[in-house]
Structure 1
């Protein structure tokens, strides 16, 4: 079922949590609301669920308006056919796994045999059918979260809302459940809205990602496009572009100088008048031993200040001579590991560099295909 938000606003006294937000989630689509704490993403989700009453705007589920500030319409949360999975595990510890999943069906007066069959079907989907008779208090955190997910799906909701459901899990389990969540969403074709502050989670789970800042959506795009083409420097930094430097001024056609240094950076695209930051990803940086014959634009010398071995790659922090400190992530197979204190040559291809404005003032649609922040 399609979800439509039109001019949504939410205030807590003088605090504006959500402002003039419009978003459409198509039927069967997964949209992730991504942003830092306090950006308004959970407040937006709670408005969709009916757990918060917006200050203004309109919310529609399919063809039905469930909230409209103009007409005063406000459908109760339990009548919206929405399933919700919270950050906390939210299972009843005194019940078995099967009882947890069948409980909302029993409340809806579903026949016992039908409820049991539906619950077992969903437990099979989330990989917990073999634990149907186990007490919920004897489950691991990841298993409890699967029970909560199964319970929501068993209700056959029109829309599934997930509020940072993996944040309490360890890293390996979080990675595994990301894959499971995406598989389930794609297999069921269930419209879903997912809230997270974790960019990797967003990239893995979304058809489209809505980046939220200050109660607004500042960029809305498919994962690959958002990763390659952030609309502003603040979004790029949030997405892990650590090499983001203030522009001190122009240095000839297609080049800028990094503020407070003599480092000249050449870009492949035109520098816009409101661009304030030049940036490139650590993965786009090449690090070679001093004396390397590499020449061309964006070739600098520097000293290795940090070298961290990461298995298939090495992460460097290189202090450029007459320039800023640059982060680099280099695959081990591309060359020898440079030790701490080594003199090195650093290079970035101009087509892997972008200049960006610090902020974007409104929702940003898909950007032009030639404005690409390329990874290695």
Structure 2
């Protein structure tokens, strides 16, 4: 496998639509659209939104609605889900929703699918009214969804209209080898959630590539990894900005439901040694620093993984500094050379 340079790697955005302390959810949506327009101008490939529920710091629960909002406010950027948590939805409804999006914004919609609920068990019950099922449900539901979107479903008793026969790329998302094997066997692109669950990254990529079977959608394996990047003009400033990201993950570990917090001078006294270790393990693939520092670390990551695309999550409190981080990253990667 030939070595890849950052200029060979397409860059994309994962937006969790953070709700900032002291700011409204309306502000969150406006800042997301501003970011989408910004990265579109910089040449980023896609802009994904993630389905989360019952989280006071994340405003992307109505993921499909937000995909329409972002796609409607941009013109060339691919917009999609990172992902739709399929256990929460009937496959037919997902097919209809994404068929509608693809009909409104032809050639610009991605459908990323995950098998986790994207929330806690109590909220999952509120979403589904039923937690019956087993590990086989996800592959079966993906297959059902693919069938609704296929052109040869036109003679079936149940049809997705709109949706049927449309070219909507399906991605499998995951943080373990389960989704990797499924994506490989189905011949679908695979996205790994290394921005918060890094442990199985290398094993999952290996399983995906080894199990890959060509399909109508994809002839060769295509892997994307999601990582955290906090870039600033200096290493010191980036480390300061990253304390918002650290606090968000610390809140998860401590079971605190809080909006996104502004950066602090130091994390000392805010976490124990055990909590610091746990946060930094979850954030293993987080690249924090100046352009030079981030470039070196990201290139090392690409060398290790040989991924085809990087999806970037940037947990920065100040919207203007978040925009600047994505600008610096585009300069690092020489995006003009990575466009297709």
TM-score (norm: length of structure 2): 0.33
* Greater share of residues in helix: 2
Report which of the two structures shows the higher radius of gyration computed on alpha carbons.
1
Structure of higher RCO (CA pairs closer than 8 Å, 6+ residues apart): 2
TM-score (norm 1): 0.30
